[in-house]
Copies of this chain bind each other. A is one copy, B any other.
């Protein structure tokens, strides 16, 4: 497939600077894109590649002022990432075959399977499951009894979904993720031994929820662990029993949210963040990577950093002095010495 710069400008609503007839055959990274490829400048850290690189076409921000001459044909757009999304979608390889149910899958005769559904090899769909139209279940997947998989959802290879869980429409789950495992709930007797508290709730994922690879989402003790519409979750994230995550929140890789905590909508959680159990976090809160939140966040739009987390700027100010502590210690000693004289 060869595409002209003018066609891409049309698709993305951009303005061309250079040769509108320039043809490319696919996308490439900004460091390595060749004359035959299109790339993009999303992060200005990479601006030097724009001048030194050899890409055929580069998508750039509408208002970028060029510092040097550029050999590539440019397409100026308002939102680079949105334009790239449109572009890549056009190039995305359709890796699924036409929809078909593998002869090596085991689909219960008591499951309801919609139209245009693909089910991979060695995948198991238990009784009572409802699989919506256009769903793709990968290979070696397990869908437990009475689950609902909303239409258009795509479940990656090796994903395991325990019984009774509900997924909305257009959900995407990457490989080897687990949904609906038992929560970590025990009572402890006087001798210090643990007794398991049965976990008989479920997990509900709203529409357009996306989960990365090797994510774990525990079922509720009672009731449901809920991820509302549009929540995006990166790889290796842990979400404990009875957590609720508000719509359009995003949780970066390796973050963990302990039991019964509630996040508002549009909360942004950085990588490796930990959030304690039984607290609530106001909508639009932004939590810096690796921070630890151990108490309620009441104010919408809070920006938090550190562990235990503080206001972002307060943390930065304290940390600036932390780096000078040896100096401060010395100065305090000197002052004391001086006083004693």
A84 at interface, CB cutoff 8 A: yes
A161 to B192, CA, bound (A): 29
A301 to B339, CA, bound (A): 43
A272 touches B256 (CB 8 A): yes
A88 at interface, CB cutoff 8 A: yes
A194 touches B290 (CB 8 A): no
Contact with B along A73-105 (1 / 0, CB 8 A): 000000101101100110111010000000010
| Copy count, this protein chain | 3
Taking CB atoms, residues of chain B closer than 8 Å to A252 are 184, 258
A285 to B1, CA, bound (A): 43
Q: Which chain B residue has the least Cβ–Cβ distance from A144?
A: B95
A2 at interface, CB cutoff 8 A: no
Taking CB atoms, residues of chain B closer than 8 Å to A120 are 124
Q: Which of A95, A230, A338 has the most CB of B within 10 A?
A: A95
A162 touches B175 (CB 8 A): yes
Q: How far is the CB of A271 from chain B (nearest CB, A)?
A: 5
A175 to B195, CA, bound (A): 20
Q: Which chain B residue has the least Cβ–Cβ distance from A215?
A: B214
Q: Which chain B residue has the least Cβ–Cβ distance from A310?
A: B323
- Interface residue total, chain A, C-beta cutoff 8 A: 122
Within 8 A of B (CB), among A4-22: none
Within 8 A of B (CB), among A98-143: 104, 106, 120-122, 124, 138-140, 142
A32 at interface, CB cutoff 8 A: yes
Taking CB atoms, residues of chain B closer than 8 Å to A274 are 254, 271-272, 289-290
Say whether chain A's binding surface is mostly helix, strand, loop, or mixed.
loop
A158 at interface, CB cutoff 8 A: yes
A266 at interface, CB cutoff 8 A: yes
A51 at interface, CB cutoff 8 A: no
Residues of A within 8 A of B (CB): 27-29, 31-33, 39, 43, 45, 79, 81-82, 84-85, 88-89, 91-93, 95, 104, 106, 120-122, 124, 138-140, 142, 144-145, 156-158, 160, 162-164, 172, 174-176, 178, 181-182, 184-187, 189, 192-201, 210, 212-214, 216, 218, 220-224, 230, 232, 234-236, 238, 240, 242, 248, 250, 252-254, 256, 258, 260, 265-266, 271-272, 274, 276, 278, 284, 289-290, 292, 294, 307-308, 310, 314, 317-326, 328-329, 331-332, 335-336, 338-339
15 contacts between A and B (CB under 8 A): A29-B221, A92-B200, A106-B121, A142-B157, A142-B175, A156-B181, A184-B232, A186-B250, A193-B248, A216-B236, A236-B256, A238-B271, A289-B292, A321-B329, A335-B335
Shortest Cβ-Cβ A-B pairs, 10 listed: A29-B223, A81-B187, A88-B198, A321-B325, A160-B175, A216-B235, A178-B213, A181-B213, A174-B181, A213-B216
